[in-house]
Structure 1
Amino acid sequence: MAHGAQESYPAMRPAVEETYGPADLSRESVFAGGFINFGYWKGIDLAAPLGQPERIRSQQDLYRQVLEAAGPLAGLRVLEVGCGLGMGCALALGEYGPAGVTGMDIHPQQLERARDAHAGLLRAEPGRLRFVRGAAERMPFGGGEFDAVVSVEAAQHFPDLAAFAAETARVLRPGGRLAVASFFTVDDAPDRPGELAGLLHTFETGLDIARPVAELTDALGAAGLADARARSIGPAVWPGWDTWLARLWAPGTWPRNFFRAYDRRLIDYYVVTATRPPRG
């Protein structure tokens, strides 16, 4: 059943509301081009000087990893959960030929920025691009409304992975596919949240939530999705991210501890995929 237009959404956690609202993380130079992700750096020479073109390419390439994992997308209806400024929605439209892309985000300020950033595309592609407010745990769409659901570096913020999995299973048509990229703990050791909070400000404040990747794959399976699996892309993410951060942050500062946490096998970066089984 579709959720009503006047649906009230779960309250945003304070760190999420501030980071993507007044603080506007997309303005930070470390996230060049309006994308907000760590990047996929395979094929980029990390020994050469890195500038905005390389940084933007890394973020586009992370989206391409996810879109290709969900594809082929030509002629399909695609939902992005946690769309931010909608840069990935625009990339999907420009490169993958879907029938339409819906960018969903819980933060109204992000949606306002997305509509401003893509005003020309919204006018030029009426009906093919839209931005809608919704929560990962409560999506304002009908059952089976999408052929593919994607999410890029947002799942670490989702407070309830089981609810996200259930909603994904609901809004996907039979045979539809999910692809998610994000960072998770590598196991369910009970001291992982404390270790990460001690290393990384984003975990300390609650912006990022420390959970094992198996929590997501298990939730997807419990929601009725098939072939839920996680593939590490850490070697193509963490060294490049740390090299880019080194332009702005000295060794020992907390942002550089992402690579340290990866090196210590506390966290890794994954592409998670699953499929809604066909009918019959």
Structure 2
Amino acid sequence: MLKDESGRPGEPAELPDPGVRPAVWETYGPADLSAVPVFAGGFINFGYWESVDLGRPLSQDDRIRSEQDLYRHVLDAADPRGGRAVEVGCGLGLGCALALEEYGPAQVTGVDVHPQQIQRACQANAALLAARPDRLSFTRGAAEGLPSGDGEFDCLYSVEAAQHFPDLPAFAREAARVLRPGGRLAVASFFTVEGAEAPAERLAGLLDSYASGLDIARPVSHLTEALGEAGFADVRAASIGPQVWPGWDRWLARLWEPGTWPRNFLAAWQQQILDYYLVTARRP
């Protein structure tokens, strides 16, 4: 778990849900990862840093822009304009709000497996929910069992959550079920590099999030193949590592010294064990 001395305590813990892996329950519930300063703004992602000048000292505004830009990169691919969209692993729902305000979908539903995240999403977006109750909603559900009807959505997107999904084939089947014919999917997350030797063991040695079981070490082909088997067409995986890892490490350098485990994300990428991908697909 990424935490530091300036992080605040999370809310009182609910009883753990046996359907949620313990590391996920703790990190996104009692520990409240969104409150850790490294995730400035509450988006809980590593950021897409292409538009940020990494040659100068980084500000909190730069950090928030990187998090928003990762959402924009995914939403550009998902294209929710005018349609019904669902975000899987919505966290505080700030990406749902960004989608609603900048991309003009008819409706956005945020889904998250953790009840405390849904509570926080409703609190963080209270004004928007009150102003647009017919266009924004949040509901609890797992990626492998989405609480939605068949063909309910025109697009499905997910930002930095799939590294936690325990069953990628089940997620792919659910995505196919809830998307209408012609519906689009866009998933951004980090996966092991194809052909990397002993990636799970090496990542567990480098990164606490893998050693604890929070993140799951799998090649991106596990997702692309699952999408193909679920009936998706035009399945593609594109590395966006150059736009993620250097900027993320520059931001981490404000809080952690070289050699501390959070700084090893960059090392894992440089050693070609781990990379960040945008996966896109279309339901025929």
Corresponding position of 1:48: 56
Aligned partner of 1:39 among 44, 47, 56: 47
Q: Describe the superposition over 1:22-67 as per-residue Cα deviations: whole angstroms up to 9, x where unpaired.
A: 0000000000011100000002011111111000000000000000
What secondary structure sits across from 2:111 in the alignment? strand
Is 1:152–2:155 an aligned residue pair?
A: no
CA contact (8 A) 1:102 1:132 kept: yes
Q: Describe the superposition over 1:95-141 as per-residue Cα deviations: whole angstroms up to 9, x where unpaired.
A: 00000000000000000000001000000011100001100000111
What secondary structure sits across from 1:150 in the alignment? strand
CA contact (8 A) 1:227 1:274 kept: yes
CA contact (8 A) 1:166 1:220 kept: yes
Corresponding position of 2:212: 205
The runs of 5 or more residues in structure 2 that have no matched partner are: 1-16
Is 1:120–2:148 an aligned residue pair?
A: no
What secondary structure sits across from 2:189 in the alignment? strand
Cα distance between partner residues in 2 of 1:190 and 1:270: 19
Cα distance between partner residues in 2 of 1:80 and 1:30: 23
Aligned partner of 1:132 among 114, 132, 139: 139
Letter of the 1:92 partner, please give it: A
Letter of the 1:214 partner, please give it: S
Q: Aligned runs of 1:231-270 on 2, under 5 Å?
A: 231-270=238-277
Q: Describe the superposition over 1:160-201 as per-residue Cα deviations: whole angstroms up to 9, x where unpaired.
A: 000000000000000000000000001155611000000000
CA contact (8 A) 2:196 2:272 kept: no
Is 1:61–2:63 an aligned residue pair?
A: no
Is 1:93–2:100 an aligned residue pair?
A: yes
- Fraction of identical pairs, as percent: 69
Runs of 4 or more consecutive aligned structure 1 residues displaced over 4 Å after TM superposition: none
CA contact (8 A) 2:196 2:273 kept: no
Is 1:187–2:194 an aligned residue pair?
A: yes
Is 1:164–2:171 an aligned residue pair?
A: yes
Corresponding position of 1:82: 89
Corresponding position of 1:13: 21
Cα distance between partner residues in 2 of 1:44 and 1:56: 11
CA contact (8 A) 1:30 1:245 kept: yes
What secondary structure sits across from 2:41 in the alignment? helix
What secondary structure sits across from 1:34 in the alignment? coil
Is 1:224–2:231 an aligned residue pair?
A: yes
Alpha-carbon shift at residue 247 of structure 1 (Å): 0.3
Corresponding position of 2:222: 215
TM-score by length of structure 2 reads 0.93
Number of matched pairs = 268
Corresponding position of 2:4: none
Letter of the 1:210 partner, please give it: A
Cα distance between partner residues in 2 of 1:206 and 1:189: 19
TM-score by length of structure 1 reads 0.94
Corresponding position of 1:24: 32
Cα distance between partner residues in 2 of 1:77 and 1:133: 18
